[in-house]
C-alpha cells in the first residue's frame, strides 16, 4: 500500500528553522503533485505549499518568502524548508500526494514554535 512518511518536526523557538521531509513509497512519485498542509488546534487543515510534477511551486501567502518546497524524484521525497518560524506556524504538518483521481496523506508531524 502507498505510504507517505513525514519526519523533521519538533519544537523550535520563534525565528528558528526546521526542515520537513516526506518519503513516499509504492507510487509513481514523479507523476504526483506533492504538497504540505497544516492543521492548527481548532482550525481546518490548510494548504502550505505545493510542487507540481514539473516543479512549479505555489505557497500560502502567510509563508511566502519564509518556506521553500522542493522535491527529489530520485529519492521519492519532498521537503519543506521552514525559516523564520512564527508561533502561528504551530500545527500538525501533513504530506499529500495528488494525482487527481488518487490522493494520499501522511500521518503528520508536529511543529511547535515557541514565542
pLDDT in tens, the chain (115 residues): 999 999 999 999 999 999 999 999 999 999 999 999 999 989 999 999 999 999 999 999 999 999 999 999 999 999 999 999 999 999 999 999 999 999 999 999 999 999 9
**Strand bridging mode 109-114 / 10-13:** parallel
Question: What secondary structure letter does DSSP report for 29?
Answer: G
Q: Is the separation of the CB atoms in 33 and 51 below 8 Å? A: yes
| pLDDT tens track for 42-53 | 999 999 999 999
pLDDT score for 93: 98
pLDDT score for 65: 98
C-alpha grid cell, residue 24: 513516499
Other CB atoms within a 10 A radius of the CB of residue 77 amount to 18
C-alpha grid cell, residue 39: 492543521
pLDDT score for 114: 97
**How far is Cα 7 from Cα 51, in angstroms, rounded to an integer?**
18
Amino acid at each position: 500500500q502507498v505510504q507517505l512518511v513525514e519526519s523533521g518536526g519538533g519544537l523550535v523557538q520563534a525565528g528558528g528553522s526546521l526542515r520537513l521531509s516526506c518519503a513516499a513509497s509504492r507510487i509513481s512519485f514523479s507523476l504526483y503533485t506533492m504538497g504540505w498542509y497544516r492543521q492548527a488546534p481548532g482550525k481546518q487543515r490548510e494548504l502550505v505549499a505545493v510542487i507540481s510534477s514539473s516543479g512549479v511551486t505555489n505557497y500560502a501567502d502567510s509563508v511566502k518568502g519564509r518556506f521553500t518546497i522542493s522535491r527529489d524524484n530520485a529519492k521519492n521525497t519532498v521537503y519543506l524548508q521552514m525559516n523564520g518560524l512564527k508561533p502561528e506556524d504551530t500545527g500538525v504538518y501533513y504530506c499529500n500526494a495528488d494525482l487527481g483521481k488518487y490522493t494520499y496523506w501522511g500521518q503528520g508531524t508536529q511543529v511547535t514554535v515557541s514565542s
